[in-house]
């Protein structure tokens, strides 16, 4: 693979990696390193005043460094290519799956509304179960798409300065109907903070996921509180609920892909276990951190710490 300036940019876009992670750039670095190693070996060997030793040592060391460099760069390139193909495949498949699943959703709705004909109680139950499985598949497809978009670098991060208060209020307004449906009181305690430089869509998505979970995993008449304040050069956002909590022995697996706690599986059948993984990835890509505390049947507190300005921008 030959190095050329335009190739690096193209490769970075194609493989969705930084320019310094592209195979062409790695080859360039490897070439430069080999030349440096060759020169260093040459000057060291020269001090021994033996021409045969000089030629042998310089060519051996250069050869070893060059061959291992080529092998290493080839392995890294392969991993990058496989990873890009996997992401591409995932987003392609999930895109293609969404339309037929949405079509099926309407068919189930139509059948269950009995507009297409009367149903026996057994048939109605069978269709209800079919609609539930279909809904679960739709959620999975939508979460997988979000994962490839938000977490795995499908869409680049676009940073701009935003008001924390506005961001949280917008998310709250979207989810207020879910809380009302369950008679859950949502309290907002948002202090004035400096603006934060983030990708607003992605941070909104993360806060939305946490607030959605807090409402989803809190029984009727519970309370969800969102707090935000500035601590030095960071903003702390906490989402506190009085919900089902997470069993202590399962807490360390919560941010793993597809993991759902046993009590959540029992109380809420629909869920994919992808949301928190995506949230964590988004927050960490902003240079922030997320942690939580939870007590079974008492509630949970998820806390995000975000730098006012990510170290990347
Ligand atoms: P999902 O909600 O689709 O299952 P998430 O990735 O958002 O997936 O959450 C993973 C798991 O973490 C949930 O299945 C649940 O067990 C637990 N969880 C997340 N938020 C809460 C919460 N606020 N209260 C209790 N459990 C929670």
pLDDT digits (tens, 9 = 90+) for 3-39: 445 578 887 777 777 788 888 888 888 889 889 988 9
**Ligand 1 contacts CB of residue 273 (under 6 A):** yes
Distance CA(148)–CA(124), nearest Å, equals 36
3-state SS, residue 2: coil
Q: So what's the pLDDT on residue 98?
A: 87
**pLDDT 10s digits, 54-71:** 888 888 988 998 899 889
Average of pLDDT values for 250-260? 93
**pLDDT 10s digits, 175-194:** 999 999 999 999 999 999 99
Distance CA(136)–CA(158), nearest Å, equals 31
Residues 89, 98, 269, 128, CA torsion sign: negative
**Ligand 1 contacts CB of residue 246 (under 6 A):** yes
Q: So what's the pLDDT on residue 308?
A: 94
Report CA(260)–ligand 1 centroid distance (Å). Answer: 6
Q: So what's the pLDDT on residue 152?
A: 62
Strands (E) located in 164-310: 185-190, 196-198, 223-231, 234-241, 289-295, 299-307
Q: So what's the pLDDT on residue 2?
A: 43
Ligand 1 pocket test, pick from 139, 249, 276 with the greatest ligand atom count within 8 Å of Cβ, gives: 276
**Ligand 1 contacts CB of residue 147 (under 6 A):** no
236 within 8 A of 228, measured Cβ to Cβ: yes
Flag whether the pTM goes above 0.85.
Answer: no
Q: So what's the pLDDT on residue 240?
A: 98
Q: Of all atoms in ligand 1, which is nearest to the CA of residue 261?
A: 16
Q: How confident is the model at residue 227 (pLDDT cuts 50, 70, 90)?
A: very high
pLDDT at 154 over 80: no
């Amino acid at each position: 693979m030959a190095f050329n300036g335009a190739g690096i940019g193209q490769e970075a876009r194609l493989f969705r990696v930084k320019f310094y992670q592209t195979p062409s750039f790695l080859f360039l670095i490897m070439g430069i390193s080999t030349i440096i190693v060759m020169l260093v070996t040459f000057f060291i060997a020269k001090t021994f005043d033996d021409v045969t030793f000089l030629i042998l040592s310089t060519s051996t060391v250069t050869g070893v460094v060059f061959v291992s460099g080529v092998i290493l760069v080839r392995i890294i390139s392969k991993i990058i290519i496989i990873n890009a193909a996997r992401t591409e495949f995932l987003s392609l498949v999930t895109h293609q799956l969404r339309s037929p699943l949405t079509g099926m959703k309407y068919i189930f709705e139509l059948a269950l509304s009995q507009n297409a004909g009367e149903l026996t109680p057994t048939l109605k139950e069978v269709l209800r179960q079919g609609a539930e499985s279909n809904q679960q598949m739709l959620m999975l497809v939508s979460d997988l798409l979000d994962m490839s978009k938000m977490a795995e670098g499908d869409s680049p991060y676009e940073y701009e300065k935003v008001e924390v208060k506005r961001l949280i209020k917008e998310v709250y307004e979207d989810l207020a109907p879910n809380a009302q449906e369950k008679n859950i009181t949502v309290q907002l305690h948002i202090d004035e903070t400096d603006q934060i430089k983030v990708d607003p869509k992605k941070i909104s998505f993360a806060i939305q996921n946490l607030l959605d979970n807090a409402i989803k995993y809190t029984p009727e008449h519970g309370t969800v509180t969102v707090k935000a304040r500035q601590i030095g050069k960071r903003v702390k956002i906490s989402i506190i609920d009085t919900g089902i909590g997470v069993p202590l022995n399962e807490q360390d697996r919560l941010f793993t892909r597809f993991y759902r706690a046993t009590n959540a599986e029992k109380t809420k059948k629909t869920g994919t276990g992808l949301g928190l993984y995506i949230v964590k990835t988004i927050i960490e890509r902003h240079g922030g951190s997320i942690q939580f505390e939870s007590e079974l049947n008492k509630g949970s507190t998820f806390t995000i710490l975000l730098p006012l300005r990510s170290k990347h921008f």
